[in-house]
Structure 1
Amino acid sequence: MKTFVTAAAIALMSAVPALADLVKVESRHSVPATLDALEMALDKAGATVFARVDHAKGAEGIGEELAASQLLIFGNPKIGTPAMQADARAGLFLPLKALAYEDSEGKVWLTYEDPVMMFEGLDIKANAEFIAGMTAALQKLSEAATQ
């Protein structure tokens, strides 16, 4: 029993930092409207939207329910290419993703992974110029999508 409790505690502790690596911005809009606004901002910025995944619709397809939740997959080679030149494994985290979802209180959030933490463990310096660019771009895009 003691081994199980220790293993569970270690698993829980290792999961907590992953959640801390997420940036969460409250949106004034619905989930679809938030991602529509994000898509428009991405288009203006010259980025490419690769896919939009409606998780709630997927759950509906198997007779289950989920609160509104949509994922947008997007990128810009001007920002992503330098990351992959520094370490090809950066491709595991690219293209970028943003999730808009409604929480149990009815609030809508736009969430994305913090670029500084995203590449942790790779051969990429935390102060790399492209990380600063990615961080600034995501902040600007999330502001445009949520306000």
Structure 2
Amino acid sequence: MRHFLATIALGLAAATTAHADDWVVKASPHDVAATADRLEAIIDESPATLVARVDHQAAAADAGLQMDPATVMIFGNPQIGTPLMQADPRAALDLPLRVLIWQQDGVTNVGYLSVDALTDRYDLDDAEQALDGMAQALDRMTDGAIAAE
């Protein structure tokens, strides 16, 4: 039984590590709210549209719970996302894009699912141009949100 549990634990650790590799994570010198505000301003100035801004800390407080700040920005650009969904309709599960901004151990992080992970997850071989555009946009937008003032 111990061997079985150890095998499961090792498998979960490997899955967690592999799953973490699917993420692009960047540290921000700003707090969560300021980083989210900066990203929202960048989205507003881009061809993308902000679909939602989800403040998980506020939702937890409304439920009488506490948690560190965490905000999800949901946004997209049909010019980029539509070709991905045309290549594989299942990609719609991960679109529009989501960027998580969270505080952990006193550090503000900005993270999102890598474009490589989307490529591995779905059959997007015919959407290379859209994938490249998405990767560039995510990188540029999140770099802007974490830039020093």
Superposed pair shares fold, TM > 0.5: yes
Q: Could you say what the CA RMSD is over the residues aligned between the two structures, in angstroms?
A: 1.5
| Structure-2 residue corresponding to 1:111 | 111
TM-score by length of 2: 0.91
C-alpha displacement of 1:126: 9.1
Deviations 1:83-142 (A, max 9, x none): 0011001101101000111111x1111111111112313211298111111110001000
Question: Which blocks of at least 5 consecutive residues in structure 1 are unaligned?
Answer: none
| Structure-2 residue corresponding to 1:34 | 35
Give the counterpart letter for 1:8 in structure 2: A
In the alignment, is the contact (CA less than 8 A) between 2:87 and 2:126 conserved in 1? Answer: no
In the alignment, is the contact (CA less than 8 A) between 2:56 and 2:71 conserved in 1? Answer: yes
| Structure-1 residue corresponding to 2:134 | 134
Give the counterpart letter for 1:42 in structure 2: I
Percent of matched pairs sharing the same residue: 35
| Structure-1 residue corresponding to 2:54 | 53
SS at match of 2:65: coil
In structure 2, C-alpha distance between the alignment counterparts of 1:129 and 1:92, rounded to whole Å: 20
| Structure-1 residue corresponding to 2:99 | 98
Q: Report how many aligned residue pairs link the two structures.
A: 146
TM-score by length of 1: 0.93
Give the counterpart letter for 1:63 in structure 2: G
In structure 2, C-alpha distance between the alignment counterparts of 1:128 and 1:51, rounded to whole Å: 27
In the alignment, is the contact (CA less than 8 A) between 1:120 and 1:126 conserved in 2? Answer: no
SS at match of 1:3: helix
In structure 2, C-alpha distance between the alignment counterparts of 1:128 and 1:96, rounded to whole Å: 17
Question: Which blocks of at least 5 consecutive residues in structure 2 are unaligned?
Answer: none
Runs of 4+ in structure 1 deviating by more than 2 angstroms, as ranges, are: none
In structure 1, C-alpha distance between the alignment counterparts of 2:26 and 2:8, rounded to whole Å: 33
In the alignment, is the contact (CA less than 8 A) between 2:54 and 2:71 conserved in 1? Answer: yes
In structure 2, C-alpha distance between the alignment counterparts of 1:68 and 1:14, rounded to whole Å: 26
| Structure-1 residue corresponding to 2:11 | 10
Give the counterpart letter for 1:123 in structure 2: D
| Structure-1 residue corresponding to 2:124 | 124
SS at match of 1:64: coil
In structure 1, C-alpha distance between the alignment counterparts of 2:97 and 2:87, rounded to whole Å: 17
**Shift in alpha-carbon separation, 1:127–1:17, aligned structure 2, 3 A:** farther
Give the counterpart letter for 1:67 in structure 2: D
In structure 1, C-alpha distance between the alignment counterparts of 2:40 and 2:119, rounded to whole Å: 24
